[in-house]
Amino acid sequence: MTAGLLTRITDALRLTTARPVLHRSVDVGEGPVVVLLHGLASSWHTFSDLVPLLEPRHRVIALDLLGFGLSVAPPSTGFTIDEHVDAVATSLRRLRLGGPVILVGHSLGALVAARLAATTPRLVRHLVMISPPIYPAAGDLTSSIDQAAMRAYTRAFDFLRSNKQFTIRNATVLARLLPMQGILEVTEANWHAFALSLENSIQRQSTIVDVASVTVPVDVVYGSLDPLLLPAGIKVIGSMRQVTVHRVDGGDHVLRKRIAAAVAAVVDDDGARDS
């Protein structure tokens, strides 16, 4: 083996090793693999009502997104959508799952899942997006109501990112009022992951383009009372031929029992197509 070839192999191994591998918080059950990606400042607890519904017929894996839970937060990362996707893709390859998976993402996790399905289709057989905060570019919004809502979201997100202590303090209070523990965690430890993911993966998103590029079936599940969704965004992707939208009356942004049941039905339908 020449010195030059050895150097190239060593460099390739170093780059592969340097890619972060995400922590696996849940790995239960047997059968077709379902991979769960939580939302911003959250954890696998998001899926507390969903995992028991899937486990009897599937292998269910929940990953902590980059910078959240027990996953690493490399100091050099900007927490862009592509960095989140790269970490998920690397982790799936390391798991050697033997084929494409049913990829389920909630909120930010839905945006990450859509980009992964668009850019690395061999890893995904079915994309399920729960409560996806899809925000079209301001210039693409024709309704004055949608324009006003988008301006309000932008101001709110900018304020949260610019007022660290306020955000941490109020997130802590809100977390105590939510139905499951661990579904909202904004702390000193994950602040950079939170603020940069909000800016670089949610506010600066291309999810509509990503979903349009996905070739596998896409199901979108959302609650009728979700305050973080822009109806125009759901309408745009809902018009795409590979996308089926499921509206859950009375549901909000939290993945409660009603939405969990709707998601489980979608995943089970995927399995029924294979039988």
> What confidence tens digit (pLDDT) does each residue in 223-240 have?
999 999 999 999 999 999
- The model's pLDDT over 52-76, given as tens digits with 9 standing for 90+, comes to 999 999 999 999 999 999 999 999 9
Is 10 a domain residue? no
Is 9 a domain residue? no
pLDDT of residue 140: 83
pLDDT of residue 17: 46
The residue among 195, 203, 208 whose CA lies nearest residue 78 is 195
Is 13 a domain residue? no
Give the gyration radius of the chain's Cα atoms. 19
- pLDDT-derived band at 9 (thresholds 50, 70, 90) equals very low
Q: Give mean pLDDT, residues 89-118.
A: 97
- CA 43, CA 182: separation in Å to the nearest integer? 6
Residue 274 predicted with pLDDT over 60: no
Is 67 a domain residue? yes
Mean pLDDT for all residues in the chain: 92
- pLDDT-derived band at 272 (thresholds 50, 70, 90) equals low
Angle at 167 between CA 164 and CA 169, to 5 degrees: 105
Q: Which residues contact 61 (CB under 8 A, 6 or more apart)?
A: 24, 26, 27, 33, 34, 35, 36, 95
Residue with tokens 């729960």: 130
Kind plus residue range of the DSSP H or E element containing 106: strand 101-106
CATH number reported for the structural domain that contains residue 243 in this entry: 3.40.50.1820
- The model's pLDDT over 25-41, given as tens digits with 9 standing for 90+, comes to 999 999 999 999 999 99
Is 14 a domain residue? no
pLDDT of residue 137: 82
Q: Give mean pLDDT, residues 247-269.
A: 96
- pLDDT-derived band at 2 (thresholds 50, 70, 90) equals low
- CA 97, CA 28: separation in Å to the nearest integer? 14
Is 112 a domain residue? yes
pLDDT of residue 12: 42
Number of domains into which the chain is organized: 1
Give the lowest-confidence range in 12-16, 60-64, 175-179, 203-207.
12-16
Domain extent, residue 260, equals 20-274
pLDDT of residue 119: 96
